[in-house]
Amino acid sequence: MKGKNIVIIGGNSGIGKEVAAQAEKEGAKLFLYSRSGEGTTQLDITDENSEIQDLPEVIDGLVYCPGSINLKPFHRISPEDFKAEMDVNFFGAVKILQACMKGLKKSESASVVMYSTVAVQTGMGFHAGIASAKGAVEGLVRSLAAEWAPNHIRVNAIAPSLTDTPLAKQLVSTDEKRAASDKRHPLGRIGTPQDIAAATLFLLDEKSSWVTGQILHIDGGMSSLK
């Protein structure tokens, strides 16, 4: 990881911020982007006219963190809601991947990490919007992993369950809500940004040099245990 150029989209909050902190400790050179621009280069991935600036010539790692949690019953999800989910989670990722492709191909061993959700594999009520968008992400991950393998670019995703980030604050805003969320997980707690960041760094590192096209479930056992 030392000396590697790592691009993080959404690098000033939640999981992205923790990935940046852990990667910096490992000696990586960081290129951080976020919508607010606070401590990063400003980039709104939902703005069709927004272009990513100041990318390094060689990109050894790309982490795409933007996401959404909009839980509604299906009959209340409008076409505009579905589009908004896709814009942040899928089309924004496509835009960034295409912008970074040239730099990734110049690396001797590049790694792309994206994020899905446990709700793609495990059917959950009120998750139709986000599960649909992240399902598209998982398809993209596998397709690009196959297409870019000859270029020595690995593409993987992490599928977390509920993680204690600003994005999820409404779901754990009271002691009662947090306790109920903890109880739903076989390991007895929700995830932390550190949990997800540690897995992200593994996928960015050469330790995972034979791993591509995978969806890594870091979810406290939610997807596979009862």
Q: Domain tally for the chain?
A: 1
- Where b means 16+ CB within 10 Å and e means fewer, 148-175 reads beeeebbbbbbbbbbbbbebbeeebeee
| Residue range 115-131, pLDDT digits in tens | 999 999 999 999 999 99
Query: Does some domain include residue 226?
Result: no
pLDDT of residue 167: 84
How far is CA 201 from each of CA 2, 21, 40, 69, 185, rounded to the nearest angstrom? 12, 11, 20, 24, 24
Query: Does some domain include residue 225?
Result: no
Active-site residues, by number, are 116, 134
Does residue 59 have a pLDDT over 90? yes
pLDDT confidence band for 97 (50 / 70 / 90): very high
Query: Does some domain include residue 175?
Result: yes
Query: Does some domain include residue 185?
Result: yes
Query: Does some domain include residue 224?
Result: no
Query: Does some domain include residue 10?
Result: yes
Does residue 40 have a pLDDT over 90? no
Domain span at 123: 5-218
How far is CA 74 from each of CA 67, 78, 131, 138, rounded to the nearest angstrom? 19, 9, 12, 21
Task: Specify the 3-state DSSP secondary structure of 114.
Answer: strand
Q: Under a CB-based contact definition with an 8 Å cutoff, are residues 63 and 6 in contact? A: yes
pLDDT of residue 159: 98
Taking residue 97's Cβ as centre, other Cβ atoms within 10 Å add up to: 18
DSSP3 helix / strand / coil % (the chain, rounded to 5): 45, 15, 40
Task: Report the range of poorest mean pLDDT among 97-101, 173-177, 191-195.
Answer: 173-177
Start-to-end CA span in the chain (Å): 37
Query: Does some domain include residue 69?
Result: yes
- Residue 76's domain is classified under what CATH number? 3.40.50.720
Does residue 39 have a pLDDT over 90? no
Among residues 114, 109, 83, 82, the alpha carbon closest in space to that of 97 is found at 114
